[in-house]
Amino acid sequence: MEPLSVVERTEVVIVGAGPTGLTAAVRLAALGVPHVVLDSALEPTRTSNAALVHAATIELLAALGLGEELVRAGRRVHRIGMVDRGRPLVRVGLTGLPSRYPFALGVPQSTTEQLLLHRLAELGGSVRRGHRVTSVRTEGTRHVVAGTVEPDGGAAGFAVSARYVIGADGAHSTIRSATGVGFPGETYPSQFVLADVALSTAAGPDDEATINLSPEGVTVLGRLPGPNHRIIATVGPTATVPEAPDRQFVDALLAQRGIAARSTAEPVWSSRFRVHHRVADRFRVDGVFLAGDAAHVHSPAAGQGMNTGIADAYDVATRLGAVLTGHADEPVLDGYERQRRAAALEVLAFTDRLTKLAMLENPLARLGRRVAAGTVLRFPWPLQRRITMWVSGLGRSPLRQDLPATGEPSLRVGP
Ligand SMILES: Cc1cc2nc3c(=O)[nH]c(=O)nc-3n(C[C@H](O)[C@H](O)[C@H](O)COP(=O)(O)OP(=O)(O)OC[C@H]3O[C@@H](n4cnc5c(N)ncnc54)[C@H](O)[C@@H]3O)c2cc1C
């Protein structure tokens, strides 16, 4: 690698331009804070990964100026239903949520990232692609982020010095490793199958995300924009699952679980994966902050991963913006780890419980699960409200907690 004679200076370096890093970049750009965004990937996400955007996230993205476009691009989900082998157990409505957006949105992660990138460009920002960060070191009150520029085969190096660093570089975060922060947790034994596929009409109402229970596993169905449904299903730890499940596999899985819908084409995208649940021991080391998957990973139950990362990013970027524009003093930065680590632990605990419920193999335990679902039906209030507030993320949204003033007009978050 060539020696680095000039180190560029900025206020904030964001490592990673996934949904978390992009949200932080848009927020900093909106507050007029100089920053640099680095990503090793040569292009943004092309797949639909995180396909459910909850009400709290729509509010946050609306605060960044892309609410209308997001709502237009997505498909509204008004209910979450639970079905046991075709027999409806519970329907929990989202329409009573205390938000201007009383619904969730089915929208591919690639679309959400495109909207964030577009907004960043409108605000004069950009992403430096092909920039792989390999180290971060502290020099006095600043942090130097260094790495290689990949299109040049790693021959050229770069170094950027900043007052603060946001590590939004995903589950295998280099920034987390470089700062020596632990990432304890476990991997679930079950495998998960994902498919985006067009289904026959028997898949259920278009505005409902349906959780289907069966002895073979849990299958979640939700409608995406366009002709496809998103299917996520748990399968046994030793089951043979192809790397990219095809139409035949999907139809056999649906039939085995008593779900009447069948595919009408090959999946446009499918995959099998295992799920980890981990939370970083610390979300901050001096001026280096961890956010999104770099700080926490959990099961896809209730689709919380990207949503929690976007909330982290909004929180940390607002605090950094307030300090760097002179509206607040450094101690407000302490609130980031306090609020967002607590939020991540809450999400992890809830998704862990849901995932373990989904993986139950013992018939008696599964009977208990059906009875528990019936209890939610019999006591709709306040149990259902607690569930919807939790799933929507509104209860732990940074917009509804204490964030420092940044000199902007205050936001209305209610209905
Ligand atoms: C199949 C699947 C389905 C999912 N479904 C859902 C769902 O329904 N709902 C939900 O909320 N979440 C879901 N998730 C999780 C969601 O996709 C992640 O939580 C989300 O992408 C995390 O965003 P992030 O920006 O924190 O990290 P990432 O999206 O992982 O982005 C990290 C970025 O950092 C870059 N990077 C990594 N290392 C470096 C480095 N050393 N130098 C520079 N750049 C680097 C990467 O190129 C990447 O662009 C799903 C995930 C998968 C895989």
Q: What is the pLDDT of residues 162-183, one digit of tens each?
A: 999 999 999 999 999 999 999 9
* DSSP class of 328: S
Residues having CB closer than 6 A to ligand 1 are: 15-21, 38-41, 49-52, 109, 132-133, 168-170, 174, 194, 271, 292-293, 300, 303-307, 309
Q: Whose CA is nearest to atom 3 of ligand 1?
A: 49
Q: How far is the CA of 19 from the centre of ligand 1 (A)?
A: 7
Tell me the C-alpha distance between 258 and 79, whole Å: 21
Q: How far is the CA of 18 from the centre of ligand 1 (A)?
A: 6
Q: Specify if 123 maps to a domain.
A: yes
Tell me the C-alpha distance between 77 and 56, whole Å: 14
Q: Specify if 86 maps to a domain.
A: no
Tell me what pLDDT residue 377 has: 58
382 upstream amide cis, omega within 30 of 0: yes
Q: Specify if 304 maps to a domain.
A: yes
What Cα–Cα distance (Å) separates residue 413 from each residue in 59, 169, 172, 315, 327? 7, 29, 34, 15, 22
Q: Specify if 142 maps to a domain.
A: yes
Q: Which residues contact 334 (CB under 8 A, 6 or more apart)?
A: none
Tell me what pLDDT residue 7 has: 81
Nearest to residue 414, comparing CAs of 102, 60, 103, 100? Answer: 100
Nearest to residue 51, comparing CAs of 324, 284, 219, 300? Answer: 300
CATH number at residue 15: 3.50.50.60
Ramachandran class of 167: left when φ > 0, alpha when ψ lies in -120 to 50, beta otherwise? beta
Q: Specify if 48 maps to a domain.
A: yes
Task: Print pLDDT tens along the chain (415 aa).
Answer: 444 555 899 999 999 999 999 999 999 999 999 999 999 999 998 888 899 999 999 999 999 999 999 999 999 999 988 888 777 877 888 999 999 999 999 999 999 999 999 999 999 999 999 999 999 999 999 999 999 998 766 668 999 999 999 999 999 999 999 999 999 999 888 899 999 999 987 667 889 999 888 888 889 999 999 999 999 998 988 899 999 999 999 999 999 999 999 999 999 999 999 988 999 999 999 999 999 999 999 887 778 999 999 999 999 999 999 999 999 999 999 999 999 999 999 999 888 777 666 666 667 676 776 677 666 655 566 777 888 888 899 999 999 988 999 987 665 566 5
Tell me the C-alpha distance between 17 and 22, whole Å: 5
Question: Which ligand 1 atom sits closest to the C-alpha of 54?
Answer: 11
Q: Specify if 146 maps to a domain.
A: yes
Q: Whose CA is nearest to atom 39 of ligand 1?
A: 169
Q: Specify if 25 maps to a domain.
A: yes
Q: Specify if 38 maps to a domain.
A: yes
Q: Whose CA is nearest to atom 6 of ligand 1?
A: 50
Q: How far is the CA of 266 from the centre of ligand 1 (A)?
A: 25
Domain around 161: 8-75+101-184+278-358
Work out how many domains the chain is built from and give that number. Answer: 1
Q: How far is the CA of 168 from the centre of ligand 1 (A)?
A: 9
Tell me the C-alpha distance between 78 and 403, whole Å: 29
Q: How is the chain split among helix, strand and coil, in percent rounded to 5?
A: 35, 30, 35
Q: Which of 150, 223, 231, 293 to mutate to test the pocket of ligand 1 (most atoms within 8 A of CB)?
A: 293
Q: How far is the CA of 219 from the centre of ligand 1 (A)?
A: 23
Q: How far is the CA of 293 from the centre of ligand 1 (A)?
A: 6
Q: How far is the CA of 309 from the centre of ligand 1 (A)?
A: 9
Q: How far is the CA of 2 from the centre of ligand 1 (A)?
A: 31
Question: Which ligand 1 atom sits closest to the C-alpha of 175?
Answer: 41
